[in-house]
Amino acid sequence: MDLKDYTRFDGLGLADLVQRGEVSAAELAQTGLEAIARVNPQVNAVIESYADAPAKAAPAKDAPFAGVPFLIKDIGSHDAGGLCELGSRLTKGMQAPPFASELVNRFRAAGVTVLGRSNIPEFGSSCTTEPVLHGPTRNPWNLERTSGGSSGGAAAAVASGMVPIAHANDAGGSIRWPAACCGLVGLKPSRNLNPVGPDSALALHGLACEHIVSRSVRDTAAMLDATAGPDAGAWCYTPRLDGSYLEQSRRAPGRLRIALDLDPRFPPTTLEPEVITAIHDTAKLCEDMGHIVEEARLEFDHEAMLRAFATIWSTDLRAGVEMLSRMTGRPIGLDTLEPHVYAAWRDTASVSGTDFIGALAQMNSVARAYGRLFTQYDVMLTPAGRMAPFELGRIGKIPTDTFFEWFVGMCEHCPFLSTVNIAGIPGLSLPLGWSADGLPIGSHFVAPQGHELRLLQLATQLETARPWADRRAPVHAAN
């Protein structure tokens, strides 16, 4: 199979070829490795590729993603025994546990062939993928722009045609913002709809969740069919749909009441005019399909929650850094940590247990705010970011005199995304808008907990009304 044919198909399309015997899983894996070799030197999305993947590619032909090339993100759910470096010099060369996470087992059961690992920012802690350890991942739509973070490597790999789908996770926007930056579909599922075990009960205290980035709504829905549902001993979980997300996503959702929010307050910032225009255009498209769109705002104490959110993130970074330092035997310092992570470790030395418990308790205010909003509306529409993909190096210029200062400056770029993680509800970015210079602008939809299907049904409508499958980044395996 040549690269032009390979990149014409989404994941389910490639699997169909395998299932019909038109191509083998081994041939797909080899073609995927060729795509990585061709494009990755420009994009730097893949930090390790597995030369033996074709020899190991032998999925059941009835699996939904039989033989589909795939990447594992270098943090969160992990494969068994290979490298898992978490984007940091502190953990360079570190190996994963000798077992795979349950989610990765489910990915493999769905038929994918893992070709390697995708790049991330240090410990997944930034909205841009520019780690000192492996260098920046570049956006295939413009190599001087960010691919987003923390799933920037995954998103750039899919957008440049290396693989049709890739593992991603999201603790503050890390699926949705990279999807927005790279012109992809990015679904953050509800809290623990996809399993986070056996290593974790609530990943990052319930903020983090796992799924994929993809080029099509149907791939996102079909993978949720394969992965959703609790694993053995799950501490808590969101129940999965009774039935198929893929099949039911093809049904119209009915007339939806959509709340439009263009007032960024977490933290307060200003939207670029092109973003405002793009989201108004998406709202008009929704109205043209028969939905009701009204302006609304999410009401809670934004300042108190922002400080609590920073406390949770920085305290978790401190705990992780100290544990990993003990495991690797490497010292904690600016030779092993990037400035913002070092600032988090330094500044949380005085955070008490009472402070941390209070910060966790503050999350309830956001969940209740969304609860109130969803008594009046079915879906919320916001931008995925305050601007189109920004230039590389921008986040590195934010001062790190205090972690809070850096954190607020970083969060200003995606002011609508993190509250969805705090509430534990689903959010979805779709590539419906484009800047004047051809960069993707993501439209972000939010629904109540457990209502992924509502988002997928709306997304299917929007994908049909305004298809994006034929758009191809300038840096692409088929070019």
Inter-residue contact 250 to 464 (CB < 8 Å) = no
Give tens-digit pLDDT for 226-239.
Answer: 999 999 999 999 99
pLDDT at 64 exceeding the cut of 90? yes
Whole-model pTM?
Answer: 0.98
Topology (CATH) of 3-465: Amidase signature (AS) enzymes (3.90.1300)
Q: How far is it between the farthest Cα atoms of the chain?
A: 62
- Is residue 384 within 8 A of residue 180, CB to CB? The reply is yes
pLDDT > 90 fraction of the chain, expressed in percent and rounded: 99
One-letter amino acid for residue 205 of the chain: H
- DSSP state letter for 65: T
Instruction: Note whether 31 and 127 are within 8 A (CB).
Output: no
Helix (H/G/I), strand (E/B), else coil: 433: strand
DSSP code string of 307-325: HHHHHHHHHHHHHHHHHHH
Alpha carbons 416 and 332: distance in angstroms, whole number: 33
In the predicted model, is pLDDT for residue 169 greater than 90? yes
Under the banding of pLDDT at 50, 70 and 90, the label for residue 58 is: confident
Output the six-digit token pair for 213.
């980035």
In whole angstroms, how far apart are CA 77 and each of 91, 163, 309, 405, 428?
A: 16, 19, 23, 30, 20
Instruction: Please report the sign of the dihedral spanned by the C-alpha atoms of residue 440, residue 165, residue 285, residue 276.
Output: negative
Strand pairing category for 185-188 and 209-214: antiparallel
Compute the Cα dihedral for 90, 95, 96, 97 and give only its sign: negative
Q: How many CA atoms lie within 13 A of 243 on its CB side?
A: 9
Query: Where residue 59 falls among pLDDT bands split at 50, 70, 90?
Result: confident
Q: How far apart are CA 164 and CA 17, in angstroms?
A: 14
pLDDT, tens digit, for every residue of 189-202? 999 999 999 999 99
Q: What is the mean pLDDT of residues 126-151?
A: 98
Q: In the structure, what pLDDT confidence band is assigned to residue 61 with cuts at 50, 70 and 90?
A: confident
Model confidence over 199-219: pLDDT tens digits? Answer: 999 999 999 999 999 999 999
3-state secondary structure 84-121: CCCCCHHHCCCECCCCCCHHHHHHHHCCCEEEEEECCC
Q: At a CB cut-off of 8 Å and minimum separation 6, what does 184 contact?
A: 155, 158, 159, 178, 213, 214, 215, 429, 431
For residue 60, pLDDT beyond 90: no
Integer distance in angstroms from the first to the last C-alpha of the chain? 15
Per-residue pLDDT tens digits for 299-326: 999 999 999 999 999 999 999 999 999 9
- Flag whether pLDDT at 389 surpasses 90: yes
pLDDT digits over 250-276, tens only? 999 999 999 999 999 999 999 999 999
Give me the residue spans of the domains in the chain.
3-465
CA nearest neighbour of 246 among 224, 228, 227, 229 = 224
- Rounded Cα distance, 270 and 476, in Å: 32
Contact 262, 383 (CB under 8 A): yes
Mean pLDDT of all residues belonging to the chain? 98
Q: How many angstroms separate the CA atoms of 304 and 324, rounded?
A: 30
